């Protein structure tokens, strides 16, 4: 969250105090120096009134302001008023940016203004002023105040429109300046808390100005690392404990903490200095004193600093913040600038939702039980997220960073919703939503190259493909390409294959597991994704193929695994295909509702901690469990699958054998088929009984009638029968590729005895024109 305009005005109410306190004794100034300062003032006034371009005014005003800074070393008390006027004029000129919002010209100009302001603040004189103003004479202190305030004001106003890139985050050019600023605040807080009354511990105007700059700068999450080298996380926690929680300073401190917590590295730094415990204690011990806005900021920071397990255990706090976050989203969504009454941008609650929705119970509460005004129904809550995505995807006038952040967060939220079978239909029924998601799924992630994405969020492309996969709206490409991708260079090996599913944050533990498994490489092969390209759909196709061909899936379970929607996608794919699974726990991952129900009866191994060296006893137990599971489940399935892929002749023979094994009467004319014959036909094409029984065709006439509807609108038929399938079979999901198998087998139905005898049985055979004859 950044500082609102109203707060910005309050911060600078005391801006002219230094002028009023300055000595009026102007006669002490020499004519030469006075003329020099007067010249600077006149030229700045001329620039302010000029019709010249923003670029020209910018260049000249910076040169003049640099001269003004140099002049202060020889300034006298009589110059105070002119210095203040020069500072005000310079500020106005610098903020006259190009009018076209978020144009390339404006982006480049704001970057130039912002970094020039920091450069001027970094000059030795200003650095010494921040670092230890006691080394500066009293007169100089008063002269520097308006000059520094103007530069800070320019920087913190302009930073809201800044377009930072990843190259900016690598720079540490301004670390010395930021350290000096933080030390200046440290001194001011110490002085204020030592001397003030309990009712009045607000800081001086310059310190408030510095904090406003840090507040707005940290709102650009991508550059939070700039502030971490200054020990700001440690200091701001200390400052917050020192001030009255209802003060303006407390709001600045809490806002900075919240902004820092949104960056992974910032959250880690805050936790290192016991930030989670400090914030929880402040919230618990000051319920009456803590303003609602500060309370909410602390709640959001706590969510960013907590694990999902910690959030789940604190159920009362969790439900309260979920109510507040949904209310913020509702209010912000109704405003043109997408900010609620307290200035929170809609992206801020959405980011917290992404993390909280890893827990299915939090998602369930928001969709069905959250308390808001107005009270939303399930459909209205889902529509809130869907409509926001449509608005932001269609908008080209919004700040690119904010826009992309909102889209990324919403896609992750919808991905979490799409894992729940009972909500899938509500998403699939929105054709515009599906088209948007399809479009994003085909894009590359280059537009995200200069954006920061926290570890709780996946890229837009990955999230989109995850949604489409869960909704069975994936293109035919996925089913077709998977069959043609190689698994490994030794795919012809008859040894069993193990697929390892893990979270990439657990690389070190995975490496140790791999070393242990490789000792038994004579018993099995291993398939594992070591490319770390989880946003690549081509990689997902390989993973899906690997799972499909694997005799066993070994999943390395940790809190990181539970939090990863990509891992959830992998293991859900394996569970639906009835793959044997060996869970390997390490550390204290806690519970996971969406997974525990599926693996409760599986043999598992638990390593106590994620150490560099595995426990030898547990390693032997793991190998024994894997070997026994493979021996129980392998059979001859893998060998049959290879024959099916590589031997067309053998495939045809197997299908003919299957026809004979189902007593399919090849001599019987299709016109004579009864209900039992129709069912046998579908069985020979591997259409499940559950789907065949749902249609319950009694004659070829019924099939011919339905074929007309199916060819006219196959998508609608799939959606319709997917709902009926779920109702008939306790919420089970009808896979789209199964429906396609049914559709293809129906359209291949022969119309005479000769076609029945010569029918090619491979489900992948290209449709012949005879398929149309039955219509």
Handedness of CA 161, 167, 170, 175 (dihedral sign): negative
Where do the structural domains in the chain lie, given as residue ranges? 1-163, 319-472, 480-639, 647-772
Condensed to tens digits (0 to 9), the pLDDT of residues 726-748 reads: 878 777 778 777 888 888 888 77
Rounded CA separation 240/252 (Å): 9
Rounded CA separation 749/354 (Å): 48
Q: Which residues of the chain have pLDDT under 70?
A: 2-35, 97-103, 125-129, 131-140, 196-202, 395-399, 445-450, 474-494, 530-539, 609-612, 634-667, 750-775
Condensed to tens digits (0 to 9), the pLDDT of residues 330-346 reads: 999 999 999 999 989 99
What are the phi and psi torsion angles at 441 (to 5°)? -65, -20
Query: Does residue 254 contact residue 297 with C-beta atoms inside 8 Å?
Result: yes
Rounded CA separation 597/561 (Å): 16
Residues facing 728 on adjacent strands: none
Q: Give per-residue burial for 60-88: e unless 16+ CB within 10 Å, then b.
A: bbbebbeebbebbeebbbbbbbbbbbbbb
Rounded CA separation 403/178 (Å): 29
**pLDDT at res. 139:** 61
What length does the chain have? 775
Residues facing 605 on adjacent strands: 584
Q: Give per-residue burial for 12-26: e unless 16+ CB within 10 Å, then b.
A: bebbeebbeebeeee
Contacts 24+ apart (CB under 8 A), 400-407: 400/102, 400/163, 401/163, 401/164, 401/220, 401/222, 401/451, 402/338, 402/345, 402/347, 404/447, 404/448, 404/451, 404/460, 405/347, 405/351, 405/451, 406/338, 406/346, 406/347, 406/350, 407/440, 407/460
Query: Does residue 166 contact residue 450 with C-beta atoms inside 8 Å?
Result: yes
**pLDDT at res. 534:** 45
Rounded CA separation 415/464 (Å): 7
pTM: 0.69
The helix/strand/coil state of 410 is helix
Looking only at the bridges linking them, the beta strands covering 496-501 and 552-557 are parallel
Rounded CA separation 666/682 (Å): 14
| Three-state secondary structure readout of 124-135 | HHHHHHHHCHHH
CA gyration radius, the chain: 33
**pLDDT at res. 399:** 55
CATH class assigned to 480-639: alpha beta
Q: Which residues contact 102 (CB under 8 A, 6 or more apart)?
A: 161, 397, 398, 399, 400
Rounded CA separation 211/234 (Å): 15
Q: Which two tokens stand for residue 363?
A: 């998602």
**pLDDT at res. 110:** 84
Rounded CA separation 527/547 (Å): 9
Rounded CA separation 604/104 (Å): 56
């Amino acid at each position: 969250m950044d500082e609102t305009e109203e707060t910005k005005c309050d911060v600078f109410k005391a801006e002219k105090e230094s002028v009023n306190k300055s000595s009026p004794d102007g006669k002490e100034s020499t004519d030469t120096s006075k003329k020099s300062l007067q010249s600077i003032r006149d030229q700045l006034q001329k620039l302010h009134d000029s019709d010249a371009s923003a670029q020209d005014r910018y260049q000249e005003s910076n040169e003049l302001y640099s001269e003004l800074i140099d002049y202060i070393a020889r300034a006298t008390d009589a110059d105070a008023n002119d210095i203040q006027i020069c500072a005000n004029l310079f500020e106005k000129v610098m903020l006259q940016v190009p009018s076209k919002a978020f144009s390339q010209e404006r982006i480049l100009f704001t970057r130039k203004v912002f970094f020039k302001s920091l450069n001027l603040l970094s000059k030795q004189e200003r650095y010494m002023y921040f670092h230890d103003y006691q080394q500066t004479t009293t007169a100089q202190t008063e002269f520097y105040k308006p000059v520094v305030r103007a530069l800070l004001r320019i920087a913190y106003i302009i930073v809201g429109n800044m377009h930072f890139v990843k190259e900016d985050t690598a720079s540490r050019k301004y670390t010395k300046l930021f350290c000096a600023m933080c030390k200046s605040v440290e001194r001011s807080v110490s002085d204020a808390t030592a001397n003030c009354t309990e009712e009045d511990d607000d800081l001086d105007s310059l310190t408030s100005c510095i904090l406003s700059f840090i507040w707005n700068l940290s709102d650009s999450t991508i550059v939070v690392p700039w502030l971490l080298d200054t020990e700001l996380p440690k200091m701001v926690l200390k400052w917050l404990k020192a001030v009255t929680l209802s003060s303006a300073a407390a709001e600045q401190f809490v806002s900075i903490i919240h902004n820092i917590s949104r960056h992974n590295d910032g959250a880690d730094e805050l936790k290192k200095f016991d930030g989670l415990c400090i914030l929880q204690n402040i919230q618990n011990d000051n319920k009456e004193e803590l303003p609602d806005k500060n309370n909410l900021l602390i709640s959001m920071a706590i969510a960013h600093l907590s694990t999902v397990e910690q959030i789940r255990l604190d159920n009362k706090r969790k439900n309260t913040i979920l109510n507040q976050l949904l209310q913020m989203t509702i209010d912000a969504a109704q405003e043109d600038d997408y900010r609620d009454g307290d200035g929170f941008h809609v992206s801020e609650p959405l980011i917290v939702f992404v993390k909280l929705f890893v827990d299915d119970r939090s998602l369930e509460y928001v969709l069905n039980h959250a308390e808001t005004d107005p009270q939303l129904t399930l459909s209205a809550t889902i529509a809130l997220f869907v409509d926001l995505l449509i608005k932001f995807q269609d908008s080209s006038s919004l700040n690119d960073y904010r826009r992309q952040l909102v889209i990324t967060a919403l896609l992750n939220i919808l991905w979490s919703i799409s894992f729940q079978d009972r909500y899938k239909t509500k998403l699939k029924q929105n054709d515009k939503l599906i088209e948007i998601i399809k479009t994003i799924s085909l894009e590359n992630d280059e537009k995200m190259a200069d954006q920061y994405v926290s570890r709780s969020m996946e890229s837009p492309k990955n999230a989109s493909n995850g949604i489409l996969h869960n909704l069975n709206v994936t293109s035919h490409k996925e089913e077709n390409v998977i069959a043609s991708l190689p698994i490994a260079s030794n795919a012809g090996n008859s040894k069993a294959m193990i697929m390892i599913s893990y979270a990439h944050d657990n690389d070190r533990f995975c490496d140790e597991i791999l070393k242990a498994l490789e000792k038994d490489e004579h018993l099995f092969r291993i398939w594992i994704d070591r490319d770390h390209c989880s946003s690549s759909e081509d990689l997902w196709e390989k993973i899906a193929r690997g799972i499909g061909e694997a005799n066993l899936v070994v999943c390395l379970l940790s809190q990181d695994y539970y939090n990863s929607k990509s891992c959830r996608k992998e293991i859900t794919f394996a569970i639906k295909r009835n793959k044997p699974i060996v869970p390997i726990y390490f550390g204290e991952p806690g519970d996971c509702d969406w997974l525990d129900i599926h693996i409760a009866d599986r043999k598992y191994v638990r390593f106590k901690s994620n150490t560099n060296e595995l426990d030898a006893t547990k390693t032997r137990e793991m190998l024994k469990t894997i070997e026994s599971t493979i021996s129980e489940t392998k059979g001859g399935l893998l060998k049959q699958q290879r024959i099916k892929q590589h031997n067309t002749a053998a495939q045809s023979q197997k299908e003919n054998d299957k026809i004979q094994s189902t007593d399919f009467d090849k001599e019987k004319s299709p016109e004579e088929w009864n209900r039992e014959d129709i069912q046998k036909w579908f069985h020979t094409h591997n259409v499940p009984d559950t789907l065949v029984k749902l249609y319950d065709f009694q004659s070829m006439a019924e099939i011919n009638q339905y074929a007309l509807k199916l060819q006219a609108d196959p998508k609608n038929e799939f959606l319709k029968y997917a709902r009926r399938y779920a109702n008939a079979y306790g919420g089970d999901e009808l896979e789209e590729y199964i429906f396609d198998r049914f559709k293809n087998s129906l359209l291949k139905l022969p119309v005479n005895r000769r076609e029945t005898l010569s029918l090619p049985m491979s489900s992948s055979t290209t449709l012949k024109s005879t398929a149309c004859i039955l219509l």
